[in-house]
Amino acid sequence: MSYQIAIDGPAGAGKSTIAKKVAKIKEFIYVDTGAMYRAMAYFLLSSHVDPKDGKAVESACAGADITIQYRNGEQVVLLNGENVNGVIRTEEVGNMASITSQNHKVRERLTVLQKELAAKNNVVMDGRDIGTCVLPGADVKVYLTASARVRAQRRWDELTAKGVSCDIKQIEEDIVKRDQQDMNREIAPLKQAPDAVLIDSSSMTIGEVVQAILDLCK
């Protein structure tokens, strides 16, 4: 039986940073499920599909073959055989993913892939519905959050460090909008599983959060 660590939480809570570090220490694979939803959104954007048209999303998503590979320990998302890691991190793709991930066909396709990965490997998997839907029997479940203000500040710091000029108020508004979409959708909404441990990282360091999760694995 594989060992499964599920980390869910809202956009910008630091899930991927934390999950990567925990995976490295435990020598597990890290599965970034958001990247899969982003790859699907990128495909739908490139195909000029209206994200609000459920039927169009449903039929178009059948044309996206999404797979995962690991190269030098890094997750590489392949969309119809092409590495899309470099093009899925934009706000545009993230916002599209938040809408198109509401579609049940999109979720069905990606959830199968996520369950397969977790059945074959010890995993740290992060997303929105991992503890509630994808891996309900996970050994450790964490709901990682932080205030919208802190999450916006972290994102602003990240973008500014890369030389991208941005407006912190706009970032915070986008974060709040994305939270609402992800928490209030019909299928697999973002919520804390009853048996998940809540970690609010607003005033914690990355090291403290990593240690808290490692302690839960003992």
Determine which residue in the list 13, 44, 97, 199 makes contact with ligand DC, applying CB under 6 A.
Answer: 97
Q: Which stretch binds ligand DC (CB under 6 A): 20-28, 61-69, 94-102, 115-123?
A: 94-102
Told to check if 129 binds ligand DC by CB under 6 A, we report yes
Asked if 34 interacts with ligand DC (CB under 6 A), we say yes
Are the CB atoms for 44 and 96 separated by under 8 Å? yes
Please give the structure tokens belonging to residue 168: 């912190």
Residue 110: name the closest of 52, 62, 46, 54 by CA: 62
φ, ψ at 165 (rounded to 5°) = -85, 135
Nearer to ligand DC, 27 or 83 (CB): 83
Q: Are 30 and 124 in contact (CB under 8 A)?
A: yes
User: Considering the rule CB under 6 A, would residue 28 count as an interface residue with ligand DC?
Assistant: no
Q: Does 20 bind ligand DC (CB under 6 A)?
A: no
Piece in contact with ligand DC (CB under 6 A), picked from 19-27, 31-39, 64-72, 207-215: 31-39
Phi, psi of 67 (to 5 degrees): -135, 165
Binding mask 169-188 for ligand DC (x = CB under 6 A): ---------x---x------
Give the one residue of 49, 94, 123, 143 binding ligand DC; rule: CB under 6 A.
Answer: 94
From the list 22-30, 33-41, 67-75, 164-172, the region that binds ligand DC by CB under 6 A is 33-41
Q: What is the DSSP annotation of 84-99? A: -GGGS-SHHHHHHHHH
Interacting residues with ligand DC between 99 and 118 (CB under 6 A): 101
Q: Which is nearer to ligand DC, 34 or 51 (CB)?
A: 34
Q: How far is the CB of 155 from ligand DC (least distance, A)?
A: 11
User: Which is closer to ligand DC, CB of 27 or CB of 186?
Assistant: 186
Q: Please report, as ranges, the residues that interact with ligand DC according to CB under 6 A.
A: 11, 33-34, 37-38, 94, 97-98, 101, 127-130, 178, 182
